[in-house]
Structure 1
Amino acid sequence: MTRTAPPTGEVPAGSAPVGQVAARMSTLDRFLPVWIGLAMVVGLLAGRWVPGIADALDAMAVGSISLPIAIGLLVMMYPVLAKVRYGELGTVVRDRRTMVLSLVLNWLVGPALMFTLAWTFLPDLPEYRTGLIIVGLARCIAMVIVWNDLACGDREAAAVLVALNSVFQVVAFAGLGWFYLEVLPGWLGLGATGLDVSVWEIAVSVLVFLGIPLAAGYLSRRIGEGRRGREWYEERFLPVVGPWALYGLLFTIVVLFALQGDTITSRPLDVARIALPLLLYFVLMWAGSMVVAHRIGLGYARSTSVAFTAAGNNFELAIAVAIAVFGVTSGQALAGVVGPLIEVPVLVGLIYVSLWSRRFFTDTRTGDLP
C-alpha cells in the first residue's frame, strides 16, 4: 500500500482518472479484488473440505474474541494507523460538518435503513432478519480504515470518525438493539426480539480491534519521527510496513470464511436471500453519504472518509453478539457471517467508484495519492 504524495498535496479537479491511479498502484494494490476473491474461495473451501479446521479455529478464542481474527485485524490495521499524522487530528475534530454528518449517518440513518431492508426482504425469516439488524447496529471500526486508505480518503478524518464510532458503539449499541428489536417492532405491530448483550463485551471488542492498533500506530509515529525525523519515517519506515495491511486483510478473510465455510456453502438459497438486502444497504449507504457530503461542501478526501465509515460495519462485533446471544448455529449468526461475504467485494468495488468520482469534486485534495 505504498503511496507517493504529490508535492502540493493537491490535484486539479477531474485529474488522475481511475486508469492512471491503478497504473501507479503496486501489484498488490492493483489486483486487490483478485487477491480478496481468492482469499474468500480458499477460506470457503477450507471450511467446507478440511476436516476440523472450523472447530480448531473456533477453539482459539478468549471470551467472544477469536484470536486468529484478532491477529489478522491487528496486522491489517496497524500499518494504516501508523500512517496517520496525529498532530493534524484537531482540524478534523473542529470540522463540525464532518463530525455531525458522520454521527447522523452512522447512528440514525444506517440502523434505520438496515431495519427497513431487513423487514422488507425477510418478513418471513425472523432469525435472519434479526441478524441483519444486528449487523446494521455494529458500526465499522476496522476494515473501513483500509478501504478509506485505498480510496485516497483523509486518514486523519477516518481515524477520528472510527474513534467516534467506537465511543458510540460502547454507549449506544445495546440501547439501539433494544429499540430496533423490541420497541420499534412493537410500535409497528411487528414481532419483537430480545437482545441481551453487555456493555463490557462491546467495550472489549472496541479495545481489541481499535485500541491496540491505534496505540501502536500513534507510538510508532511519535517514536519514529522523534528519533529519525518525519522524512525517514514516511519515506523509509512506512513503505516497509505498508504492505502488511493487505496481508492482514487477506489472512482475516481466509480465517473468517474458513470458520463458516461449511454453513455458507450448504445453505446457498438462504445466503442469497440475506445477501440482497445487504447489497442494497452497502451501496445505498455509500452513495447517499458521498452525495450528501459533496452537497454540503466537503472535499473529496473527507467525503470519502465519511462515505466508507458510514457504509462499513463491524462484522466482528455483529458475529460475536449473534453467537453469544443466539448460538453459533443460529440464523442470526449466519446473517452476521454473510455480512462480510457481501461487504468485502462490494466495498472493494466502491473504492474504484470513489476514485472515479473524484472528478466531480472541485476540491480533490488528498493527504496521500496513489
Structure 2
Amino acid sequence: MSGATAPPTGSVAGRLSLVDRFLAVWILVAMAAGLGLGRLVPGLGDALARVTVTGVSLPIALGLFVMMYPVLAKVRFDRLGTVTRDKRLLVPSLVLNWVVGPAVMFALAWIFLPDLPEYRTGLIIVGLARCIAMVVIWNDLACGDREAAAVLVALNSVFQVIAFGALGWFYLSVLPGLLGLERTGLDVSVWEIARSVLIFLGIPLAAGFATRRLGERARGRTWYESRLVPRIGPFALYGLLFTIVVLFALQGHAITSRPLDVVRIAVPLLVYFAVIWAGSMALGRAVGLGYAKTTTLAFTAAGNNFELAIAVAVATFGATSGQALAGVVGPLIEVPVLIGLVYAALAARRFFSPPAGSPAPVEEGPVHV
C-alpha cells in the first residue's frame, strides 16, 4: 500500500493489484476463515491461547508486528515536530479519545444493554482501551497523515498507561453510583497496561524508526523511499489478514455459539463507531485540518485497543465471562466497519480543501500493494 493521498479513480483502480481491488473481500474471508477454524477444528483456540509470552498471545503479537512495522517504517520521523505543534489536531484528539469516546461508550452500553451487566461492563472496558495498533493500517489505507498517526498513537499509549485504571474505576464504580446504577469493580495493574503498550506499539515503532534511520544513513532517502519501502509495504496487509484469522480462530467457538448475544453487543458498537468517526470527521473539517489529518483524527478516535480490552476482561472476570465475550465481539464488528469507513473517508475527500500552504495532493491509488 503506497499511502498516497488521493482516492481511487477509474484509471487508478485498473492499475491496482488483485489484492488491492478486493481488499474488503479478503478481510471478510479472513474473518470467516478464523471463525470456521475456531469452530470446526477441536482445540485450536485453546492451542493458540497457550502460545503466550508473559501472558501475551504470541501469534497475535507477531501478526500485529508484521502489520504495523511496514507502515511505521514509512513514517518521516523528522516531520514529527510539526505535528506536535499542531494544537488543532492534538487537543481534539485527546478530548475525543479520553473524554468523548469513553463517555459515549458508557452511555450506549447502558442504553442498549441495561439488562445484561456482564456485556455492558465488557463494552465499557472496550471504550476505555484507545487504539494504539491496528489504527495505523486503517489510517494508511485511507491516506491519512502517517506522521500524525504516529504522534497520536504515542500519546494514546502514554495516556493509556496513566489513565486506564482511573477511568475504569470512574466509569464502572463512581459514575454508576452517582447515577444510582449498578457498580462494578475493575482490578487491573499499570504494568499490565504498560506491557500491552510496549509489545503492541513500542516494538514495531522502534523497529520502524531504526529501519528508516539505518536505511537512509546507509543508502540515502531516495533509495529508501523508492526501493525499500515498496518491498516491505505488502507485508502490512499480510500481517493484518494473519492477525484477523488468528484472533477470530481464538474465539470462533464463543462467537458462533451465542449469535443472539453477539447481535446485542454489536448494535451499540455499530452506533459507537458511526457516531465517533462521523463526529471526528466533521470536527476536523470544521477546524480546517485538511483531509489527511482529519482522517487520522477520525480513525484514532473511533478505533479501540481490543487486545488490551480482552486481556483486562479475561484477567479480571475470566476467559468464559460475558465481559470477555464483549471484548471479543469488538474486533468482529470493528474490522469490517472500519474497512468500510476507509472507503467512506476516501469518498468524502472531495469535501476537503488542502490546508493553507500545503502542496496539492498527488493523484495516486491509496492502497497499492
TM-score with structure 2 length normalisation? 0.95
2:146 to 155, 158, 180: 155
Residues 8 and 364 of structure 2 are in contact (CA less than 8 Å); yes or no, is this contact kept in structure 1? no
Alignment partner of 1:28 is 2:19 = yes
Cα deviation, residue 51, structure 1: 1.2
Output the CA distance in 2 between the equivalents of 1:206 and 1:41. 28
Alignment partner of 1:266 is 2:257 = yes
Q: 1:313 to 1:369 in 2, by over 3 A?
A: farther
Cα deviation, residue 24, structure 1: 4.6
Within 5 A, what are the aligned runs for 1:203-222? 203-222=194-213
Output the CA distance in 2 between the equivalents of 1:287 and 1:248. 27
Cα deviation, residue 275, structure 1: 0.3
- Map of 1:2 onto structure 2: 2
Residues 135 and 315 of structure 1 are in contact (CA less than 8 Å); yes or no, is this contact kept in structure 2? yes
Residues 34 and 249 of structure 2 are in contact (CA less than 8 Å); yes or no, is this contact kept in structure 1? yes
Q: Which runs of 5+ in 1 are unaligned?
A: none
Output the CA distance in 2 between the equivalents of 1:24 and 1:41. 28
SS at match of 1:352: helix
Amino acid at match of 1:2: S
SS at match of 2:354: coil
Alignment partner of 1:179 is 2:170 = yes
Within 5 A, what are the aligned runs for 1:1-370? 1-2=1-2, 16=7, 19=10, 22-363=13-354, 369-370=364-365
Output the CA distance in 2 between the equivalents of 1:130 and 1:368. 45
Output the CA distance in 2 between the equivalents of 1:130 and 1:22. 43
Output the CA distance in 1 between the equivalents of 2:263 and 2:330. 12
Residues 18 and 356 of structure 1 are in contact (CA less than 8 Å); yes or no, is this contact kept in structure 2? no
What is the CA deviation profile of residues 223-267 of structure 1, one whole-angstrom value per residue up to 9, with x for unaligned ones? 111111111111110111101001110010000000110010000
More displaced stretch, 57-66 vs 353-362: 57-66
What is the CA deviation profile of residues 74-97 of structure 1, one whole-angstrom value per residue up to 9, with x for unaligned ones? 000000000000000000000011
- Number of paired residues? 361
Residues 155 and 367 of structure 1 are in contact (CA less than 8 Å); yes or no, is this contact kept in structure 2? no
Amino acid at match of 2:342: I
Output the CA distance in 1 between the equivalents of 2:362 and 2:72. 14
Residues 153 and 305 of structure 1 are in contact (CA less than 8 Å); yes or no, is this contact kept in structure 2? yes
Output the CA distance in 1 between the equivalents of 2:72 and 2:362. 14
Output the CA distance in 2 between the equivalents of 1:144 and 1:37. 18
What is the CA deviation profile of residues 35-73 of structure 1, one whole-angstrom value per residue up to 9, with x for unaligned ones? 110101110010001011011000001233100000000
Output the CA distance in 2 between the equivalents of 1:178 and 1:21. 50
Amino acid at match of 1:76: M
Output the CA distance in 2 between the equivalents of 1:245 and 1:368. 22
Output the CA distance in 2 between the equivalents of 1:102 and 1:88. 19
What is the CA deviation profile of residues 91-148 of structure 1, one whole-angstrom value per residue up to 9, with x for unaligned ones? 0000011000100000000000000000000000000000000000000001100000
CA RMSD in angstroms, aligned pairs only: 1.5
Q: 1:21 to 1:177 in 2, by over 3 A?
A: farther
Cα deviation, residue 19, structure 1: 4.7
